[in-house]
Every structure is written in structure tokens, then in C-alpha cells.
Amino acid sequence: MGRQPCCDKVGLKKGPWTAEEDQKLIAFILNNGHCCWRAVPKLAGLLRCGKSCRLRWTNYLRPDLKRGVLSDSEEQLIIELHSYLGNRWSKIASHLPGRTDNEIKNYWNTHIKKKLKRIGIDPVTHRPITDQVPDTNPPGESNNTFLRASNTEEYLAPKLDLNSHNTNEKLRTFNNDNDAKEASTRSNDSEVTEEEKSIDSMTEAAQLSVPGGYGFDPRVELLATAEPQNFENFAATSPCFDFLNGNAMLFQQQGSPLLRVPDEECLLEFSEDIIGCANAQEGESSDQLIKDEFSVNSCLSSFNYSGETQAPICSSATEMQWTHDMLVTGSILPAPETDMQASLWQEQPEDAFPGWDGDILHHGINVANCCFSNPFTKKKENLGQIKLQR
DNA sequence: AATCTAATCAACCGCCTTACG
DNA sequence: TCGTAAGGCGGTTGATTAGAT
């Protein structure tokens, strides 16, 4: 039996709030805060249930709310986040200051969904609607790297142009190619072992290359010698970028940890709030390592682990200690209080990443511009700014 | 001007999670 | 460990507004 609705009590008002009610609620919360929403209506002199008060406050009356239509960049960010997180509106909202989950949800349902459909992209899977391979996993857990990974040619400027037929064409072509590869490698799927599937996935991911969105190009190892204050060295060796906004995800490391990846064919992508597994032991699945308030939703190539789903196996534990805040798409995330150690991908030979040719074009106190040799285009290209947050 | 339809979004409902005794 | 209360979240509803006929 379900719980009784809190507003079923006789005498409690429902429906749209009046200006007078708003004023009462605002005045009360500004003066007293809200220790207990259930008590708020009584104390504020409102004939509403606490839940209704909370909703009205968080979605409408809060002074830090940003009103008005969402900007293009906000819309881009919502699409990107949704491809990782699915309908986790509150999570998405947490990346857009001044916006509420309700507002984003409404905007998604009334605007973005239609826009995506119009250009031939399934708003659920974020993949082109035509020739879709059935994917029963919800976004955030599925192998939804296709959208993000599709615009290889736009490696350095991967914003999804929703008005661009060209982008859509790229998506379609790309997907068809990969579907064909999948079909050929899995012609008799029942005979394919899990291990083989993993390898296929890795190969496939390699073909996807580094996508737009929150990106961390693991083809480049984080060198051991980067000191927290040595931004120049750090920036040159830590190409952790938010491809969507041109910001960097800032990793700070201390001591002599290494972050390596299985081989040059693999990708590691961080999304959501980034980062970290802790205290990896050899052979340990990293989903056992995710801790604390750091919501981890990253994927190694197409293993796609998001905390509760599959995780790559750490076969050689290296460690990286977070010592500073991290900057992620404009959000400052707190470093863990304790010594959290992040991990850890399989070590490979030093020459695993021949494409890397990191360089600093300009280095300032808070910003560093970087370039590197794009292994796909073979050109040396500007990667944009890394914003450093001390 | 009247009516119909579609779009929008605030608000509600009910389930889930968390905190606490 | 269990039960309960409260907060939080995502899906849905329905009143209102805008645009089309």
C-alpha cells in the first residue's frame, strides 16, 4: 500500500500559489530558514503542505534562480549531460547553476526532445534514429558513446550543431560503419565469449576516437613528475578536457602516481562529477572502489561503468591522489577530505601513445593553452585552454 | 470574434532513499 | 534490525497562454 499523499489533509490548499502566499513563504524562509519543511506552512501561516512549500521555494521562489529561457550553451550542456545521465534531472540541474530540475525536465520534454527528433537523433539513446542497434540499457548505463564519439573530425570543436544537417550525416555514416563492423564481428554472437566481446568493444571504442563532451584522452598518460604547483608540466601532460566547453577537468596529482591506460586503442571518458576510484588492488574491479560523495560515472572504452554497472578491472594499481579542487565545466568540485586515491589502468609500454606531443602555447596563472598532435588528423592542433583552479 | 489545437510549465502524485529512534 | 517520517526525485497532470483556422 502506498503512502498517503501529504496534501490529502482537510483544509490544505492545492493548486497555483497566490502572490500573498509567495510573500509569506519568502518572508518566513528568509527570516528563519527551513529546518523542517513539514513545519514551515504552519509556522509561516500557510494552508499548504510542507512538500508543496518546498517545491514552490526550490522551483520558483529561491532567490538564486535564473529566470528566462535557457541559452544555447545551457541547452548544449543539457543534451550532453542527458546522454550520460539519462533522465536524472536533478543531477543535470546540478551542473546548471540557477536552473531547477523541473525547469530542465520541462525544457527537455517541450523543446530539446523535439529538436533531436527533428534532426534524426533518438532523445533516449542519443543515437541516430535510423539503423539503430537495439540497446536496452538506459542512458547513463548504455553504450551511448556514439553521439559523443561520432564527430571525430570535429575532435577539437566537437559541439553538436543541432541545426547542422552535416553533423547528422556524420552521425549516420559513422553509426552505419560501426554497425556493419559489429555485425561482421558478431555474426555468431552465441559463440562469442565475454572476453571477446570486451576486446571487440575496446577496438570499437578505439575507432570511435575521442568524442566531444567531457573528455579525457587516456592515450596520454599523466606523467609521474607533475607536481601540483607545476602547472606547466601538468598541463602539458594532462590533457583532460571538457570538450564541450573548452574547459579542462583539472586533475591534481602529487607524488609520483601514474595514470595509464590499457593501450592506445582505448578511451577513458569521465562524465558527471568525475573522478576517482580508491585504493585499487591488483585484479580488483574498480566499481568496488568508488566512494564517498564523488559520483563517478566514467567509462573505459565501451565498458561503460557508472558506479553501479560494469567496471573495468584494474590489473595494475597505480595511484593518484587528489589534492585540490577540480574544475569541471565550470563547477568546482570539492576534493575529498581524506586521502582518496584514484586509480589505475593497466600499464603499458612507454611508447603506447605516440600521438602525443604536448606543448604549452601560453601559460598563465590560471590558464594554460595546449596543443597536441592529433593522431587522427596527424596535425598539431590547439586543444584550447585548461583552466586551473587552485 | 469565436473556436479549436498545441505548447508551456507550475504543481501534484507516488515511489524511493535516507535519517533516526 | 526494523519501522516510521521526511525529503528528494521523476513522471504526469491540468490550467493557462499562444497561435491557427
**Backbone Cα Rg of chain A:** 23
Which three-class secondary structure string do you get for A287-306? HHCCCCCCCCEEEECCCCCC
Specify burial of residue A170 (Cβ count, 10 A radius: 0-12, 13-18, 19+). Answer: middle
The reply to whether A142 falls in a domain is no
The reply to whether A92 falls in a domain is yes
Positions in chain B where some atom is under 7 Å from a protein CB: 7-16
What are A355's three cell numbers? 600521438
Mean pLDDT of chain A: 45
Query: Range of A113's domain?
Result: 72-128
Q: A130 pLDDT band (50/70/90 cuts)?
A: low
- A166-203 tens-digit pLDDT: 223 322 222 233 333 232 322 333 323 332 233 233 22
Q: Write down the pLDDT at residue A36.
A: 81
Q: What value does the mean pLDDT take over residues A114-122?
A: 80
CB A341 within 8 A of CB A320: yes
Q: What value does the mean pLDDT take over residues A121-146?
A: 54
Check whether residue A32 has its CB closer than 7 Å to nucleic acid strand C: no
Q: Write down the pLDDT at residue A11.
A: 67
A141 pLDDT more than 60: no
Distance in Å from C3's C1' to A245's CA comes to 48
Question: Across A81-90, A122-131, A322-331, which has the greatest mean pLDDT?
Answer: A81-90
The reply to whether A91 falls in a domain is yes
Of the two residues A297 and A378, the one the predictor is more confident about is A378
| B13 C1' closest Cα residue | A5
The reply to whether A86 falls in a domain is yes
Check whether residue A36 has its CB closer than 7 Å to nucleic acid strand C: yes
| C13 C1' closest Cα residue | A15
- A29-81 tens-digit pLDDT: 888 777 688 888 888 888 888 888 888 888 888 877 877 778 877 887 788 77
Please count the structural domains in chain A. Answer: 2
The reply to whether A361 falls in a domain is no
The total number of residues written for chain A in this structure: 390
Of the two residues A111 and A214, the one the predictor is more confident about is A111
The reply to whether A170 falls in a domain is no
